[in-house]
Amino acid sequence: MGNLAYRASMPVLRLFSPEAAHTIAIHALKLGLAGRTAAAADPVLATRVWNLDFKNPVGLAAGFDKNADVMDAMLALGFGFVEAGTVTPLPQPGNPKPRLFRLDEDGAVINRFGFNSKGLDAFVAKLQARPRNGIVGANVGKNKESADAAGDYVKGIERVCHFADYLVCNVSSPNTPGLRGLQARGQIAELIGRVLDARSRAMAGAQPAPPLLAKVGPDLSEQERRDIAEVALASGIDGLIVGNTTVDRPPTLRSRHAAESGGLSGVPLKEKARACIADMYRLTGGRLPIIGCGGIANGADAYAHLRAGASLVQLYSALVYGGPALVEDIKRDLAACLRAGGFASAADAVGADHR
């Protein structure tokens, strides 16, 4: 739906639970009711990462389009790239409802979905059917009851690698028991090794292979961040997404939902996410592209994430409050920030705070 329609519909959408409102939004997008951006691409935003040409560095984070239903509709809103998923090998319902909460006073969201997914078969069929216009990533995870976590990621990578422009292993959601333990040094090293092998087997020498990333969370200790940086550099993985939702609850939260369990995202996550981006950029020496995710609500936030070390950025929660027009607002303001900072391109600003 266009932004005027979105604003007009907000009071009605608020009559529904957050998850029901999201489902309505997905249906509207599938029906083509969101419209398309009419804004011309600003050349200062264009960037090239992993030999992929992004019209702009502002992407849609995983979690919005779990089942690959509206990838092209979201690209049409002006996103530079869209990440579908997280998808699990087998269908699973996720955690009991309610499991999504708006923290209106805080510009935040708490979710405890637990990788609700229609499974790989449905997900891959949708990826395979779409024209390859615009950059789409595929984010894979594990089934809750799986005894072989790495094996689930292998299955996911093998199935999606021919149909996505980049691949992501989500090892940092707080809503699947034991998942964040995969970020421990030994486990993430094994997992990365197995999924890199799986990508090689599935591609069977075809080039170029889509870049493979690991999505890590913002709640890591300094030692855990150091371990992940060292493993990532040694393994040959292509990049990191930093970060995910947080289990922390800042004392500044005002919403009555602040004590709900699950992962917190949105404005209160911004500073923590940016600090983690900066740490991972420093620990990897800027040698590994980072997608910065967490707390972006405007162009200044996106600009600060780039300066901290992100080559690309992602958002999701801010759409709940800003609607479809937020994408163009962020891009316009980011372009203004880049020019005011003396940067000729988004790439020039990456890691500027470390120089």
Q: What angle do CA 200, 64, 171 make, to 5 degrees?
A: 45
3-class DSSP state for residue 52? strand
Q: Does a cis peptide bond (omega within 30 degrees of 0) precede residue 208?
A: yes
The packing angle between helices 18-30 and 3-13, to 10°, is: 150
- How many beta carbons lie within 10 A of that of residue 130, not counting itself? 13
Distances (CA, A) of 304 to 28, 45, 215, 301, 334: 33, 14, 20, 5, 9
Active site residue 173: yes
Residues 55, 45 contacting (CB under 8 angstroms): yes
From the list 157, 168, 152, 140, the residue with the least C-alpha distance to 59 is 168
Annotated active-site residue in 117, 146, 172, 173? 173
- Helix or strand holding residue 264 (H, E): strand 263-266
Residue ranges in 130-184 assigned as alpha helix (H): 149-160
Which residues on adjacent β-strands are paired with residue 87? 140
Q: Which residues contact 42 (CB under 8 A, 6 or more apart)?
A: 56, 331, 332, 335
- How many beta carbons lie within 10 A of that of residue 344, not counting itself? 11
Tell me the helices (H) and strands (E) count for the chain, helix number first: 12, 13
Residues 324, 9 contacting (CB under 8 angstroms): no
Any idea which residues carry the catalytic annotation? 173
